[in-house]
Structure 1
Protein backbone atom coordinates (compact mmCIF):
# COMPACT_ATOMS: atom_id res chain seq x y z
CA UNK A 1 0.00 0.00 0.00
CA UNK A 2 2.97 2.33 0.38
CA UNK A 3 3.18 2.45 -3.40
CA UNK A 4 -0.43 3.68 -3.70
CA UNK A 5 0.26 6.33 -1.08
CA UNK A 6 3.26 7.50 -3.06
CA UNK A 7 1.21 7.61 -6.25
CA UNK A 8 -1.71 9.37 -4.54
CA UNK A 9 0.27 12.14 -2.82
CA UNK A 10 0.83 14.42 -5.86
CA UNK A 11 -2.81 14.11 -6.93
CA UNK A 12 -4.08 14.94 -3.43
CA UNK A 13 -1.70 17.88 -3.09
CA UNK A 14 -2.64 19.21 -6.53
CA UNK A 15 -6.37 19.16 -5.92
CA UNK A 16 -5.88 20.58 -2.43
CA UNK A 17 -3.89 23.50 -3.88
CA UNK A 18 -6.49 24.02 -6.60
CA UNK A 19 -9.26 24.24 -4.01
CA UNK A 20 -7.21 26.50 -1.72
CA UNK A 21 -7.23 29.23 -4.36
CA UNK A 22 -11.01 29.43 -4.06
CA UNK A 23 -12.34 31.78 -1.36
CA UNK A 24 -15.06 29.52 0.10
CA UNK A 25 -14.18 27.10 2.88
CA UNK A 26 -17.14 25.05 1.70
CA UNK A 27 -15.08 24.12 -1.36
CA UNK A 28 -12.91 21.86 0.81
CA UNK A 29 -15.98 20.03 2.12
CA UNK A 30 -17.52 19.70 -1.35
CA UNK A 31 -14.30 18.30 -2.81
CA UNK A 32 -13.94 16.02 0.20
CA UNK A 33 -17.43 14.57 -0.30
CA UNK A 34 -16.88 14.19 -4.05
CA UNK A 35 -13.55 12.41 -3.53
CA UNK A 36 -15.16 10.07 -0.98
CA UNK A 37 -17.90 9.21 -3.46
CA UNK A 38 -15.41 8.65 -6.29
CA UNK A 39 -13.25 6.49 -4.02
CA UNK A 40 -16.29 4.35 -3.28
CA UNK A 41 -17.04 4.04 -7.00
CA UNK A 42 -13.38 3.19 -7.73
CA UNK A 43 -13.50 0.30 -5.23
CA UNK A 44 -16.34 -1.37 -7.16
CA UNK A 45 -15.15 -4.44 -9.04
CA UNK A 46 -17.33 -3.69 -12.08
CA UNK A 47 -15.84 -0.20 -12.40
CA UNK A 48 -12.34 -1.64 -12.13
CA UNK A 49 -13.11 -4.12 -14.89
CA UNK A 50 -14.54 -1.31 -17.06
CA UNK A 51 -11.35 0.68 -16.53
CA UNK A 52 -9.40 -2.20 -18.03
CA UNK A 53 -11.62 -2.41 -21.11
CA UNK A 54 -9.62 -1.15 -24.11
CA UNK A 55 -12.84 -0.43 -26.05
CA UNK A 56 -14.14 2.04 -23.44
CA UNK A 57 -12.82 5.57 -23.83
CA UNK A 58 -11.50 7.53 -20.87
CA UNK A 59 -14.18 10.16 -21.49
CA UNK A 60 -16.94 7.55 -21.27
CA UNK A 61 -15.46 6.00 -18.11
CA UNK A 62 -15.25 9.47 -16.58
CA UNK A 63 -18.92 10.12 -17.45
CA UNK A 64 -19.97 6.80 -15.93
CA UNK A 65 -18.05 7.42 -12.72
CA UNK A 66 -19.35 10.97 -12.35
CA UNK A 67 -22.91 9.74 -12.97
CA UNK A 68 -22.53 7.39 -10.00
CA UNK A 69 -21.62 10.26 -7.68
CA UNK A 70 -24.69 11.62 -5.83
CA UNK A 71 -23.74 15.32 -5.93
CA UNK A 72 -22.29 17.16 -8.92
CA UNK A 73 -18.50 17.23 -8.94
CA UNK A 74 -16.75 20.56 -9.35
CA UNK A 75 -14.22 21.45 -12.01
CA UNK A 76 -11.22 20.59 -9.83
CA UNK A 77 -12.58 17.11 -9.12
CA UNK A 78 -13.45 16.51 -12.77
CA UNK A 79 -9.98 17.60 -13.89
CA UNK A 80 -8.28 15.43 -11.29
CA UNK A 81 -10.43 12.43 -12.24
CA UNK A 82 -9.56 12.91 -15.91
CA UNK A 83 -5.82 12.96 -15.13
CA UNK A 84 -6.14 9.92 -12.84
CA UNK A 85 -7.95 7.97 -15.56
CA UNK A 86 -5.56 9.08 -18.31
CA UNK A 87 -2.63 7.86 -16.20
CA UNK A 88 -4.46 4.61 -15.37
CA UNK A 89 -4.36 5.26 -11.63
CA UNK A 90 -7.96 4.34 -10.76
CA UNK A 91 -6.76 2.11 -7.90
CA UNK A 92 -5.16 5.16 -6.26
CA UNK A 93 -8.45 7.09 -5.92
CA UNK A 94 -9.21 5.85 -2.36
CA UNK A 95 -5.67 6.81 -1.28
CA UNK A 96 -6.05 10.21 -2.95
CA UNK A 97 -9.24 10.82 -0.96
CA UNK A 98 -7.54 9.73 2.26
CA UNK A 99 -4.54 12.01 1.71
CA UNK A 100 -6.81 14.92 0.75
CA UNK A 101 -8.59 14.46 4.10
CA UNK A 102 -5.26 14.63 5.92
CA UNK A 103 -4.32 17.85 4.13
CA UNK A 104 -7.75 19.35 4.83
CA UNK A 105 -7.58 18.39 8.49
CA UNK A 106 -4.10 19.88 8.86
CA UNK A 107 -5.22 23.14 7.23
CA UNK A 108 -8.23 23.31 9.54
CA UNK A 109 -6.19 22.24 12.58
CA UNK A 110 -8.44 19.24 13.05
CA UNK A 111 -7.77 15.56 13.49
CA UNK A 112 -9.68 12.33 13.76
CA UNK A 113 -9.76 10.76 17.21
CA UNK A 114 -10.24 7.00 17.07
CA UNK A 115 -11.83 6.18 20.41
CA UNK A 116 -11.75 2.47 21.19
CA UNK A 117 -13.92 1.29 24.03
CA UNK A 118 -14.86 -2.10 25.43
CA UNK A 119 -18.50 -0.99 25.44
CA UNK A 120 -20.66 1.29 23.31
CA UNK A 121 -20.41 4.97 24.24
CA UNK A 122 -23.50 7.14 24.07
CA UNK A 123 -23.29 10.59 22.44
CA UNK A 124 -23.38 12.38 25.82
CA UNK A 125 -20.27 10.49 26.97
CA UNK A 126 -18.44 11.39 23.77
CA UNK A 127 -19.47 15.04 24.07
CA UNK A 128 -18.15 15.07 27.64
CA UNK A 129 -14.89 13.39 26.65
CA UNK A 130 -14.02 15.50 23.57
CA UNK A 131 -13.08 18.82 25.29
CA UNK A 132 -10.53 17.08 27.52
CA UNK A 133 -9.09 15.20 24.54
CA UNK A 134 -8.89 18.41 22.50
CA UNK A 135 -6.89 20.06 25.32
CA UNK A 136 -4.64 17.00 25.58
CA UNK A 137 -3.94 16.73 21.85
CA UNK A 138 -4.02 20.48 21.13
CA UNK A 139 -6.42 20.52 18.19
CA UNK A 140 -10.07 20.23 17.25
CA UNK A 141 -11.08 16.57 17.10
CA UNK A 142 -13.85 14.67 15.40
CA UNK A 143 -14.50 11.26 16.93
CA UNK A 144 -14.77 7.82 15.40
CA UNK A 145 -15.81 5.24 17.99
CA UNK A 146 -14.83 1.59 17.72
CA UNK A 147 -15.84 -1.24 20.00
CA UNK A 148 -12.93 -3.42 21.16
CA UNK A 149 -13.98 -5.96 23.85
CA UNK A 150 -10.32 -6.93 24.42
CA UNK A 151 -9.81 -3.62 26.26
CA UNK A 152 -11.97 -5.01 29.11
CA UNK A 153 -12.81 -1.46 30.29
CA UNK A 154 -11.70 2.14 29.87
CA UNK A 155 -10.79 3.69 26.53
CA UNK A 156 -7.93 3.95 24.08
CA UNK A 157 -7.67 7.13 22.00
CA UNK A 158 -5.49 7.41 18.90
CA UNK A 159 -4.96 10.79 17.21
CA UNK A 160 -2.54 10.43 14.34
CA UNK A 161 0.46 8.61 15.78
CA UNK A 162 -0.24 9.66 19.39
CA UNK A 163 -2.06 7.22 21.66
CA UNK A 164 -3.66 7.73 25.07
CA UNK A 165 -4.45 4.33 26.55
CA UNK A 166 -6.41 4.24 29.81
CA UNK A 167 -7.88 0.80 29.21
CA UNK A 168 -7.91 -1.98 31.77
CA UNK A 169 -5.93 -4.11 29.30
CA UNK A 170 -3.12 -1.49 29.22
CA UNK A 171 -3.05 -1.33 33.02
CA UNK A 172 -2.89 -5.11 33.29
CA UNK A 173 -0.07 -5.23 30.73
CA UNK A 174 1.79 -2.55 32.69
CA UNK A 175 1.42 -4.51 35.94
CA UNK A 176 2.56 -7.71 34.21
CA UNK A 177 5.71 -5.96 32.98
CA UNK A 178 6.40 -4.43 36.37
CA UNK A 179 5.98 -7.77 38.15
CA UNK A 180 8.18 -9.68 35.73
CA UNK A 181 11.03 -7.15 35.91
Structure 2
Protein backbone atom coordinates (compact mmCIF):
# COMPACT_ATOMS: atom_id res chain seq x y z
CA UNK A 1 0.00 0.00 0.00
CA UNK A 2 3.00 2.29 0.44
CA UNK A 3 3.32 2.36 -3.34
CA UNK A 4 -0.24 3.64 -3.75
CA UNK A 5 0.45 6.41 -1.22
CA UNK A 6 3.65 7.30 -3.06
CA UNK A 7 1.77 7.51 -6.35
CA UNK A 8 -1.09 9.47 -4.76
CA UNK A 9 1.04 12.09 -2.98
CA UNK A 10 1.87 14.34 -5.98
CA UNK A 11 -1.76 14.28 -7.10
CA UNK A 12 -2.98 15.14 -3.60
CA UNK A 13 -0.48 17.97 -3.28
CA UNK A 14 -1.44 19.38 -6.67
CA UNK A 15 -5.15 19.21 -5.85
CA UNK A 16 -4.50 20.84 -2.49
CA UNK A 17 -2.58 23.72 -4.09
CA UNK A 18 -5.36 24.17 -6.64
CA UNK A 19 -8.07 24.08 -3.97
CA UNK A 20 -6.15 26.42 -1.69
CA UNK A 21 -5.54 28.87 -4.51
CA UNK A 22 -9.19 28.94 -5.50
CA UNK A 23 -10.52 28.90 -1.94
CA UNK A 24 -12.39 25.65 -2.52
CA UNK A 25 -10.91 23.32 0.10
CA UNK A 26 -14.31 22.03 1.26
CA UNK A 27 -15.60 21.57 -2.27
CA UNK A 28 -12.60 19.42 -3.14
CA UNK A 29 -13.09 17.38 0.04
CA UNK A 30 -16.62 16.61 -1.07
CA UNK A 31 -15.67 15.83 -4.67
CA UNK A 32 -12.80 13.54 -3.72
CA UNK A 33 -14.92 11.79 -1.11
CA UNK A 34 -17.80 11.18 -3.49
CA UNK A 35 -15.69 9.85 -6.33
CA UNK A 36 -13.63 7.73 -3.92
CA UNK A 37 -16.84 6.14 -2.65
CA UNK A 38 -18.04 5.52 -6.19
CA UNK A 39 -14.87 3.80 -7.36
CA UNK A 40 -14.75 1.63 -4.25
CA UNK A 41 -18.13 0.15 -5.12
CA UNK A 42 -17.49 -3.42 -6.26
CA UNK A 43 -19.20 -3.05 -9.65
CA UNK A 44 -17.29 0.11 -10.58
CA UNK A 45 -14.06 -1.21 -9.09
CA UNK A 46 -14.28 -4.31 -11.29
CA UNK A 47 -14.56 -2.11 -14.38
CA UNK A 48 -11.46 -0.10 -13.50
CA UNK A 49 -9.11 -3.05 -13.71
CA UNK A 50 -10.81 -4.57 -16.74
CA UNK A 51 -8.59 -4.26 -19.83
CA UNK A 52 -11.63 -4.71 -22.08
CA UNK A 53 -13.11 -1.40 -20.87
CA UNK A 54 -11.48 1.48 -22.76
CA UNK A 55 -10.61 4.59 -20.78
CA UNK A 56 -13.21 6.64 -22.67
CA UNK A 57 -15.95 4.22 -21.61
CA UNK A 58 -14.67 4.19 -18.02
CA UNK A 59 -14.71 8.00 -17.97
CA UNK A 60 -18.30 7.99 -19.26
CA UNK A 61 -19.34 5.53 -16.56
CA UNK A 62 -17.72 7.49 -13.72
CA UNK A 63 -19.08 10.79 -15.01
CA UNK A 64 -22.58 9.36 -15.46
CA UNK A 65 -22.57 8.37 -11.79
CA UNK A 66 -21.09 11.49 -10.22
CA UNK A 67 -20.90 14.22 -12.85
CA UNK A 68 -23.24 16.58 -10.99
CA UNK A 69 -20.94 16.50 -7.96
CA UNK A 70 -17.84 17.42 -9.99
CA UNK A 71 -16.79 20.82 -11.24
CA UNK A 72 -14.66 21.23 -14.37
CA UNK A 73 -11.39 20.81 -12.46
CA UNK A 74 -12.76 17.69 -10.77
CA UNK A 75 -13.67 16.21 -14.15
CA UNK A 76 -10.18 17.02 -15.45
CA UNK A 77 -8.59 15.27 -12.46
CA UNK A 78 -10.70 12.15 -12.96
CA UNK A 79 -9.91 12.15 -16.69
CA UNK A 80 -6.20 12.49 -15.94
CA UNK A 81 -6.29 9.66 -13.42
CA UNK A 82 -8.12 7.42 -15.88
CA UNK A 83 -5.71 8.25 -18.71
CA UNK A 84 -2.72 7.51 -16.48
CA UNK A 85 -4.23 4.32 -15.08
CA UNK A 86 -4.28 5.81 -11.58
CA UNK A 87 -7.98 5.94 -10.76
CA UNK A 88 -7.59 3.21 -8.14
CA UNK A 89 -5.36 5.48 -6.03
CA UNK A 90 -8.11 8.09 -5.69
CA UNK A 91 -8.99 6.98 -2.13
CA UNK A 92 -5.35 7.55 -1.14
CA UNK A 93 -5.37 10.91 -2.92
CA UNK A 94 -8.47 11.83 -0.94
CA UNK A 95 -6.90 10.67 2.32
CA UNK A 96 -3.68 12.62 1.72
CA UNK A 97 -5.66 15.66 0.63
CA UNK A 98 -7.62 15.57 3.89
CA UNK A 99 -4.36 15.39 5.84
CA UNK A 100 -2.99 18.40 3.98
CA UNK A 101 -6.24 20.27 4.54
CA UNK A 102 -6.22 19.44 8.24
CA UNK A 103 -2.62 20.62 8.57
CA UNK A 104 -3.49 23.82 6.76
CA UNK A 105 -6.48 24.42 9.00
CA UNK A 106 -4.52 23.32 12.10
CA UNK A 107 -7.08 20.62 12.82
CA UNK A 108 -6.17 17.47 14.72
CA UNK A 109 -8.15 14.29 14.19
CA UNK A 110 -9.19 12.65 17.46
CA UNK A 111 -10.57 9.16 17.82
CA UNK A 112 -12.69 9.13 20.97
CA UNK A 113 -13.96 5.80 22.24
CA UNK A 114 -16.38 5.93 25.14
CA UNK A 115 -17.88 3.19 27.26
CA UNK A 116 -21.28 4.85 26.90
CA UNK A 117 -22.76 7.28 24.38
CA UNK A 118 -21.63 10.81 25.17
CA UNK A 119 -24.15 13.60 25.53
CA UNK A 120 -23.49 16.53 23.19
CA UNK A 121 -22.46 18.82 26.05
CA UNK A 122 -19.99 16.18 27.30
CA UNK A 123 -18.46 15.83 23.86
CA UNK A 124 -18.23 19.60 23.42
CA UNK A 125 -16.49 19.96 26.79
CA UNK A 126 -14.09 17.11 26.01
CA UNK A 127 -13.23 18.61 22.62
CA UNK A 128 -12.75 22.01 24.25
CA UNK A 129 -10.30 20.53 26.79
CA UNK A 130 -8.42 18.73 24.00
CA UNK A 131 -8.19 21.93 21.96
CA UNK A 132 -6.65 23.73 24.92
CA UNK A 133 -4.26 20.86 25.63
CA UNK A 134 -3.08 20.46 22.03
CA UNK A 135 -3.49 24.13 21.02
CA UNK A 136 -5.24 23.15 17.80
CA UNK A 137 -8.78 22.76 16.64
CA UNK A 138 -9.89 19.16 17.18
CA UNK A 139 -12.20 17.18 14.93
CA UNK A 140 -13.54 14.15 16.78
CA UNK A 141 -14.75 10.82 15.56
CA UNK A 142 -16.69 9.19 18.38
CA UNK A 143 -17.52 5.54 18.88
CA UNK A 144 -18.84 3.44 21.74
CA UNK A 145 -17.13 0.34 23.15
CA UNK A 146 -18.80 -1.14 26.21
CA UNK A 147 -15.64 -3.19 26.79
CA UNK A 148 -14.06 -0.07 28.28
CA UNK A 149 -16.42 -0.53 31.25
CA UNK A 150 -16.31 3.21 31.97
CA UNK A 151 -14.45 6.34 30.90
CA UNK A 152 -12.95 7.20 27.53
CA UNK A 153 -9.95 6.41 25.40
CA UNK A 154 -8.66 9.15 23.10
CA UNK A 155 -6.18 8.82 20.25
CA UNK A 156 -4.77 11.97 18.65
CA UNK A 157 -1.97 11.34 16.22
CA UNK A 158 0.49 9.08 17.99
CA UNK A 159 -0.73 10.01 21.48
CA UNK A 160 -3.16 7.89 23.45
CA UNK A 161 -5.01 9.10 26.52
CA UNK A 162 -6.61 6.11 28.20
CA UNK A 163 -8.83 7.06 31.10
CA UNK A 164 -11.04 4.02 30.74
CA UNK A 165 -11.75 1.64 33.59
CA UNK A 166 -10.47 -1.30 31.55
CA UNK A 167 -7.25 0.60 30.83
CA UNK A 168 -6.74 1.31 34.52
CA UNK A 169 -7.45 -2.34 35.39
CA UNK A 170 -4.90 -3.49 32.82
CA UNK A 171 -2.33 -1.08 34.26
CA UNK A 172 -2.99 -2.36 37.79
CA UNK A 173 -2.72 -5.97 36.62
CA UNK A 174 0.60 -5.22 34.95
CA UNK A 175 1.87 -3.53 38.12
CA UNK A 176 0.81 -6.47 40.28
CA UNK A 177 2.53 -8.96 37.97
CA UNK A 178 5.86 -7.15 38.18
TM over 0.5, yes or no? Answer: yes
Tell me the secondary structure at the aligned position of residue 69 of structure 2. Answer: coil
Flag as ranges the 4+ runs of structure 1 deviating above 4 A: none
Contact 1:118/1:149 (CA < 8 Å) preserved in 2? yes
2:30 paired with 1:67 = no
CA-to-partner distance for each residue in 1:35-75, whole Å, 9 max, x for gaps?
00011011011112222344433233223213322743123
Paired position in structure 1 for 2:14: 14
Question: How far 1:3 sits from its partner (Å)?
Answer: 2.5
**TM-superposed deviation, 1:96:** 1.1
Matching of residue 49 in structure 1 with residue 62 in structure 2: no
Q: Is 2:122 the counterpart of 1:125? A: yes
Uncovered stretches (5+) of structure 1, i.e. residues with no partner: none
Change (3 A) 1:15 1:180: same
Q: 1:155 aligned to 152, 157, 165, which one? A: 152
Counterpart pick for 1:142 among 133, 139, 154? 139
Distance 1:136 1:71 in 2: 41
Deviation track 1:83-122 (CA, whole Å, cap 9, x = no partner) reads 2212222221111111110000000001221100111112
Q: What's the counterpart of residue 3 of structure 1?
A: 3
Contact between 1:156 and 1:166, CA under 8 Å: does it hold in 2? Answer: yes
How far the C-alpha of 1:161 sits from its partner, in A, is 1.6
The residue aligned with 2:32 is: 35
d(CA) in 1 for partners of 2:168 and 2:7?
Answer: 40
Give the secondary-structure state (helix, strand or coil) at the position aligned to 1:153.
coil
CA-based RMSD of the aligned residues comes to 1.7
SS in 2 for 1:15: helix
Tell me how many residue pairs correspond in the alignment. Answer: 178
Counterpart of 1:150 in 2: which secondary structure?
helix
Q: Does 1:172 align with 2:135?
A: no
**Structure 1 residues 107-122: aligned runs within 5 Å:** 107-122=104-119
Q: Distance in 2 between matches of 1:137 and 1:46?
A: 43
The 1-side partners of 2:148 and 2:2 are apart by 29
